[in-house]
Structure 1
Amino acid sequence: MSSPIHHGRVRRSYDTVAEEYRDRIGDELAHKPQDRALLAAVVEQAGDGAPVADLGCGPGHVAGWLAGRGARPVGIDLSPAMVAIARRDHPGVEFREGDLLRLPAADGEFAAAVALYSVIHLTPAELPAAFAETRRVLRPSGLLLVAFHVGSEVRHLTEWWDHAVDVDFHFLEQDTVAGHLTAAGFTVEATLERAPHPREAETRRAYLLARRTG
C-alpha cells in the first residue's frame, strides 16, 4: 500500500477519535513518571526557551507540558482534528499539520524533538526516511526522544472506542529502531524499556534517546 493511501487512513482514523482521544489520553503524563523524567532531560539539555518539536503531537498535551517546563514547543500532527484540539486547549503553543516524512519545518529549526508513539503508524520501510527527515530539522547535536511499543506484530484496528477506524499499529524492536537511527546520522545515548502502567494498554514500552551527529 502506497504511503499517501496509508497515511490517509491514519489521518482519517485519528480525525474520527480526536475528541475522545483527548478525553482519555490528555492527562496521561500525570501517571507516567518515566516519561516525565525523560522529557525533562530533553528540555534541560535543549536549553531554556529552546524550540522543541513534538512529532505526532495529538491533542497537544505533551507540547503543553514542555511549554510549562520552559521549552518553546512546536506540535506537528497528521490529523487536522487533533491539531484543532491542540490549538484550542493550548493557545500559547504553536501547532502545525504535517507528515513525519515531510515535516513542515526548516532545516535545523529545532534544538530537540520528541516522537512519542508516532512512528508506530509508519511502515517499517518508512522508518529510515522519517528519521532522516527528523535529523534534517534538528540542529547539530540536537536530541531526539523516540517511544514505541516493543515487539514485531502489527495490530490492525477497525474499531476504536466504538468509532470505525482503519489504522495499523506497528510494534518495533529496540535494535531495529536503534539501527535506523544510527544509519540516519544519530548516536543512541540511552535506552529504557518498561512494563505498562495500570491505565495503559498491556504492551511493553521502549524509549531511545539519540543525538544528531554532525
Structure 2
Amino acid sequence: MFTAEGPTVRELAVQALSSTERGYDLLAPTFDHTPFRTPDRMLDACEEALAQTLPTPPAAGLDLCCGTGAAVPLLRRLCRERVTGVDFSAGMLARAAERFRTAADPAADPAADPAVGPAVDFVHADVRALPPALHGSYDLVVSFGAFGHFLPAERPGFFAEVHRALRPGGVFAFPIGAPPRLSSPGWWAAAGFDAVMRVRNALWRPPFVMYYRTFPLGGVRADLEAAGFEVTTQALECFGRRPDGSPNWRLLLARRPA
C-alpha cells in the first residue's frame, strides 16, 4: 500500500488492531515508505527556520518520538556535540539505530557520515516519563508527526517532561498546521478518521491512540505556557497562506526561560 515497498492493507489492519506501541513495532520495517513519515520538505523548512532563529548553534539536541530517525539528520546539522532520539517502539528504534550506527559504516547512509555532525544515541522510553538522566541535558528539543498519539489530558504532563529535559534558555520546536476549514474535504476526512478511532477504542482493547484533531494551537499554547514556556510562532512561508492571510504551517518555538 502507498508504494510497492510499503505495508499491505492486511498489515495495516493488524497494526490498527494492536496497541499503539505494538502497532509501530509491526510497521517499522516499511514505515519510511508510507505517508506517515514526516516529509523531507517539512523537515527542511523547519531546519532553515531554526538555523535563522536560534541565536547560537545548540550543543545538544533531542528528538522525541523519533521513529526511524527522519529528523535526526536535521539535529546533527544544527547541533555541535550530542544528538539523542527517544521512542517507545523498539522496532522503530532498531530501524533508526541501524541507519545511524556510530559511523561503523558511514557509506551505508550519507546521514550517518561522522562529518555531518555528532554521533547519535537512541533511548527506548516513553516520552511522557523521560529517564532522569535526560533531564537538564538539551538545548534544543524537536518532535515531528507524533502529537496525534497524545490525548489532550496528557499534554500538560508531556510538556512538563520536555521542560525538564531542556537546559535554561533551551527551545522546544515543532511544526503545527492551521486547522482545515469546515467546508474542506480535509476537515471531514480528519473528523471521520477520529470518529472511527474513537469507536474502535471503545470496542477493542488494547487501544490504538491516534487522532488528527486533538492538538489545536490555542490549547497547545495554553498548556505550554502553564508548563513554564515562553511561546512564539514563526510562519513557514514555503507552505503558503490561507485566504485570511494566516499561514498554513507555523514553527512553534517554546523557550524555557533562562
Q: Say yes or no: does 1:179 pair with 2:253.
A: no
Is 20-29 or 183-192 further displaced after alignment? 20-29
Q: What residue in structure 2 maps to residue 190 of structure 1?
A: 233
User: Structure 1 CA distance, aligned partners of 2:143 and 2:162?
Assistant: 10
Q: Say yes or no: does 1:103 pair with 2:147.
A: no
Is 177-186 or 98-107 further displaced after alignment? 98-107
Counterpart of 1:123, as a letter, is: L
- After superposition, the Cα gap between the structure-2 partners of 1:17 and 1:40, relative to the gap in structure 1 and judged at 3 Å, is farther
From the CA coordinates, give the structure whose radius of gyration is larger.
2
Counterpart of 1:168, as a letter, is: M
Root-mean-square deviation over aligned CA pairs: 3.0
Quote how far apart the aligned CAs of 1:179 are. 0.5
Q: What residue in structure 2 maps to residue 82 of structure 1?
A: 92
Quote how far apart the aligned CAs of 1:150 are. 4.7
- After superposition, the Cα gap between the structure-2 partners of 1:39 and 1:73, relative to the gap in structure 1 and judged at 3 Å, is farther
Number of residue pairs matched?
A: 193
User: Structure 1 CA distance, aligned partners of 2:95 and 2:236?
Assistant: 30
Q: Say yes or no: does 1:52 pair with 2:61.
A: yes
TM-score, length-scaled by structure 2? 0.64
Structure with the higher fraction of residues in helix conformation: 2
Q: Which runs of 5+ in 2 are unaligned?
A: 1-17, 103-119, 180-189, 201-206, 241-247
Q: Say yes or no: does 1:119 pair with 2:133.
A: no
- After superposition, the Cα gap between the structure-2 partners of 1:194 and 1:178, relative to the gap in structure 1 and judged at 3 Å, is farther
User: Structure 1 CA distance, aligned partners of 2:140 and 2:173?
Assistant: 8
- After superposition, the Cα gap between the structure-2 partners of 1:33 and 1:86, relative to the gap in structure 1 and judged at 3 Å, is closer
User: Structure 2 CA distance, aligned partners of 1:84 and 1:130?
Assistant: 24
Quote how far apart the aligned CAs of 1:112 are. 1.2
Counterpart of 2:219, as a letter, is: T
Q: Which runs of 5+ in 1 are unaligned?
A: 1-7, 159-164, 198-203
Percentage of matched positions with identical amino acids: 28
Quote how far apart the aligned CAs of 1:170 are. 3.9
Quote how far apart the aligned CAs of 1:193 are. 6.5
Quote how far apart the aligned CAs of 1:149 are. 5.1
Q: What residue in structure 1 maps to residue 70 of structure 2?
A: 61
Is 82-91 or 28-37 further displaced after alignment? 28-37
Q: What residue in structure 2 maps to residue 132 of structure 1?
A: 160
**8 Å contact 1:51–1:112 — kept in the other structure?**
yes
CA deviations on 1:103-141 (whole Å, 9 max, x unpaired) are 124321111100112222110000000001110111001
TM-score, length-scaled by structure 1? 0.76
Q: What residue in structure 2 maps to residue 9 of structure 1?
A: 19
